[in-house]
């Protein structure tokens, strides 16, 4: 009896990601981290009650970025309709979060400024991947 390790039944290796998929995956991961850090920092601000919209958008954006990142990280080409929907959701959530965080960043909240930048980077990477996927 052979052990599975010696039978040649190894897990198939993941196909290489395209440059656009890799850039989008990296941007999604960075945006998730920035959004969660921003939400946590906003929750500790003196004026946290007035930052509830920012906190909610941070958390929602992190969830959407995580979902898209998980699909991209599998390496296999995702279903075209699903990829299009996830990219659209990520573009929308990153845009909304960046807009909200920009307002607070301009008032001196560095964590919001950093989050807005990560959201804009992710939004751009998603738009580029969406353009390639639709071509």
Q: Decide: helix, strand or coil at residue 79.
A: coil
CATH of domain 18-134: 1.20.1270.360
- Please report the sign of the dihedral spanned by the C-alpha atoms of residue 50, residue 51, residue 52, residue 53: positive
Measured in residues, the chain has a length of 135
DSSP state at residue 76: S
pLDDT per position as a tens digit, 30-89: 999 999 999 999 999 999 999 999 999 999 999 999 999 999 999 888 899 999 999 999
pTM beyond cutoff 0.85: yes
* CA 35 – CA 132 distance, rounded (Å): 26
Output the pLDDT for position 51.
Answer: 97
* CA 124 – CA 128 distance, rounded (Å): 6
DSSP state at residue 3: -
Output the pLDDT for position 13.
Answer: 58
Domain boundaries, the chain: 18-134
* CA 109 – CA 135 distance, rounded (Å): 40
């Amino acid at each position: 009896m052979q052990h599975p390790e010696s039978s040649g039944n190894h897990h198939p290796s993941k196909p290489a990601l395209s440059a656009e998929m890799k850039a989008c995956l990296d941007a999604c991961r960075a945006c998730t981290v920035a959004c969660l850090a921003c939400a946590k920092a906003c929750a500790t601000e003196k004026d946290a009650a007035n930052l509830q919209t920012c906190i909610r958008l941070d958390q929602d954006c992190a969830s959407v970025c995580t979902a898209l990142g998980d699909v991209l990280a599998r390496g296999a080409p995702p279903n075209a309709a699903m990829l299009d929907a996830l990219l659209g959701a990520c573009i929308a959530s990153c845009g909304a979060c960046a807009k909200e965080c920009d307002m607070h960043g301009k008032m001196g909240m560095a964590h919001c400024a950093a989050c807005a930048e990560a959201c804009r980077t992710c939004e751009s990477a998603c738009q580029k991947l969406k353009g390639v996927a639709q071509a």
